[in-house]
Amino acid sequence: MSNSREAARESFRRVNETCPEVDRALTQASEIIKEQTGMLREALVAAIEERMEADDRISELEHDVQGMQATIERLEGHNAVLETENSILQDKICNAIEENLEQHQEIAYLKSCIRDLEDEISDLRAV
């Protein structure tokens, strides 16, 4: 076994484990990988920030939509009340017009009666 160890040491002295070109290539590749990883991380951070901003904006818009829906519901309720009040007022106006018409008809009838009575009085005075 001693010969195996000595033979292995001798082989490493004669032939390096790696050559300088391979070491340089690996170092260069490692630097490129680190640089690209950094750029990817920066892009990922930017994308995550944009997503977070978009999520915030979505929340704001959803809140605005809820507020608008609440306003719509409130206005629709108010509109229903106004429509009811409008209907009541229209009924009152129609009733007032009918009553006014009846009063005009009664006045016309009474005026006609007065004319008839005045004619009769005139006729009686003439006798």
Q: What pLDDT shows up at residue 108?
A: 94
Q: How confident is the model at residue 80 (pLDDT cuts 50, 70, 90)?
A: very high
Residue 9 lies in a domain: yes
Closest CA to 53 of 61, 65, 64: 61
Structural domain that includes position 36: 2-97
Report the 3 state secondary structure along 23-57: HHHHHHHHHHHHHHHHHHHHHHHHHHHHHHHHHHH
Q: How many domains does the chain divide into?
A: 1
Q: How confident is the model at residue 101 (pLDDT cuts 50, 70, 90)?
A: very high
Residue 51 lies in a domain: yes
Q: How far is CA 54 from CA 47, 48, 57, 63, 105, in A?
A: 10, 10, 5, 14, 74
Residue 123 lies in a domain: no
Q: What is the pLDDT of residues 47-79, one digit of tens each?
A: 999 999 999 999 999 999 999 999 999 999 999
CA dihedral 22, 26, 32, 36 (to 10 degrees): 140
Which range (19-23, 39-43, 86-90) has the least confidence?
19-23
Residue with the two structure tokens 């629709």: 76
Residue 13 lies in a domain: yes
Residue 79 to residue 50: CA distance in whole angstroms: 42
Residue 116 lies in a domain: no
Q: pTM score > 0.85 for this model?
A: no
Residue 54 lies in a domain: yes
**Largest CA-CA distance found in the chain, in angstroms, rounded:** 175
Q: How confident is the model at residue 14 (pLDDT cuts 50, 70, 90)?
A: confident
Residue 26 lies in a domain: yes
Residue 126 lies in a domain: no
